[in-house]
Amino acid sequence: MTALDAFKRVQAGKAILYDTRGAEYFAAGHAQGAISLPVADIERDPTDARRRMVSGKLAVFYCT
Question: What is the tens place of the pLDDT at every residue in 2-33?
Answer: 999 999 999 999 999 999 999 999 999 999 99
User: What is residue 41's predicted lDDT score, i.e. its pLDDT?
Assistant: 96
Domain residue limits, the chain: 3-62
Residue 64 has pLDDT above 90, yes or no: no
The third-level CATH classification (topology) of the domain covering 3-62 is Oxidized Rhodanese; domain 1 (3.40.250)
Q: What angle do CA 57, 11, 60 make, to 5 degrees?
A: 45
Residue 36 has pLDDT above 90, yes or no: yes
Q: Is the pTM of this model over 0.75?
A: yes
Q: Which residues contact 39 (CB under 8 A, 6 or more apart)?
A: 20, 21, 63
| DSSP letter assigned to residue 30 | -
